Structure 1
Amino acid sequence: MNAELDALKRALDRQRAHVLGIIEGLSEEDLRRPVLPSGWSCLALVRHLTLDVERFWFPGVIAGEPDVAGQLTAGTEAHWYVPEGMSSEEVFADYRAAIACADAVLADAVLEQEPAAWPMEIWPTWRLPDVRHILIHVLTEVACHSGHLDAVRELIDGTIWLGGNPYAS
């Protein structure tokens, strides 16, 4: 990995850790409880990050894996819900597995590389030109959602994220 890609990847890893860290210790009930009027739960947001972020952008768009891209473009609203019978442990394990797969794609990527696939049916007039822009987009989205989880966690039990020095390696 080059220095820029490595720096972006470290920043993304910090946000991924933030997502998991801010909801650590919540009960099953609190993980599934909608807190905001929009109705999503902490687990539903992790499910969204798993499917619509980690799997969609890395193996789907960057690597162009057809099975992934095809599965993810249909019914994305359903990705904000946890399937009936799926435990919180399964949701977290799925998220971690998606991160590992995304990291494997990034390990073989070059920042200037064009995406191998693009979901024209979703965005016919918008396109990210390369891995650099995709990684910045994903980093921004994960950071935004970790902030959402911060607000929800504080509403649930007053816990505030104290994840340490964000610039430590």
Structure 2
Amino acid sequence: MTGIDGEKAVLQEFLGYQRATAMAIVDGLGEVALHTTVLPSGWTPIGLIEHLADAERHWFQAVLTGTLSPRPWDDGCPSFVTPRSSAEVLAFYREQCSLSDRLIAETPLDAAPVGKHEDERLAAQTTDLRRIILHMIEETARHAGHLDAARELIDGRTGLGPR
């Protein structure tokens, strides 16, 4: 594949790698470990996965399309320290990634977002679908690194994921 379709495929591939890495890092952790804070900032591994789900939802729905599907919960809890079970959060993340992939497939790379991020700097940087995908690759990779450090502190495991 060449051209725009090839570029879109590559961007989706790299986003998929980062998503798979985040999921692989938390795979095998029990409920207690997933809800345990190991760094001074206070987030939990499953809370960070919920944050990634919310980021997918925000960038590909609210920003790209200007619409937003409701969350399965609306309890005001910050996602970084979610009280929800890992099964709920992992299902929500998978659902948001699937919806994001559908929206990516339906939208040209150079399509301008319908919505807008509230931060002016980020809004200025994310002027089309291409840049939104790049932002999500960056966001997911950054948090996969956080998860990797947390996993090492929890049980000593490192280097988990497809890459």
Give the TM-score normalised by the residue count of structure 2: 0.87
The verdict on how the C-alpha distance between 1:146 and 1:66 changes in structure 2, with shifts beyond 3 A counting, is closer
Instruction: State the partner residue of 2:15.
Output: 12
| Runs (5+) with no aligned partner, structure 1 | 69-74
Q: Measure, in 2, the Cα distance between the counterparts of 1:154 and 1:125.
A: 34
Instruction: State the partner residue of 2:82.
Output: 82
Instruction: State the partner residue of 1:39.
Output: 42
1:60-103 Cα offsets, whole Å, 9 max, x none, are 111111556xxxxxx7x8232314xx211011001000111111
Alpha-carbon offset, residue 22 of structure 1 = 0.7
Q: 2:129 aligns with which of 112, 128, 131?
A: 131
- Tell me, yes or no, if the aligned pair for 2:61 and 2:69 is still in contact at 8 Å: no
Q: Measure, in 2, the Cα distance between the counterparts of 1:125 and 1:15.
A: 24
Give the TM-score normalised by the residue count of structure 1: 0.84
- Tell me, yes or no, if the aligned pair for 1:21 and 1:161 is still in contact at 8 Å: no
- Tell me, yes or no, if the aligned pair for 2:26 and 2:45 is still in contact at 8 Å: yes
Alpha-carbon offset, residue 11 of structure 1 = 0.3
Could you list the runs of 4 or more consecutive aligned residues of structure 1 that deviate by over 4 angstroms after TM superposition?
A: none
Q: Secondary structure at the match of 2:37?
A: coil
Instruction: State the partner residue of 1:101.
Output: 99
- Aligned pair count? 155
- Tell me, yes or no, if the aligned pair for 1:47 and 1:91 is still in contact at 8 Å: yes
| Runs (5+) with no aligned partner, structure 2 | 71-75
What's the % identity of the aligned pairs?
Answer: 39
- Tell me, yes or no, if the aligned pair for 1:58 and 1:105 is still in contact at 8 Å: yes
Provide the aligned C-alpha RMSD in A: 2.1
The verdict on how the C-alpha distance between 1:129 and 1:17 changes in structure 2, with shifts beyond 3 A counting, is same
Q: Measure, in 1, the Cα distance between the counterparts of 2:17 and 2:68.
A: 29
Matches within 5 A, 1:124-163: 124=120, 126-127=122-123, 128-163=126-161
Instruction: State the partner residue of 2:73.
Output: none
Alpha-carbon offset, residue 123 of structure 1 = 1.7
The verdict on how the C-alpha distance between 1:44 and 1:162 changes in structure 2, with shifts beyond 3 A counting, is closer
Q: 2:6 aligns with which of 3, 6, 10?
A: 3
The one-letter code sitting in structure 2 at the alignment partner of 1:57 is W
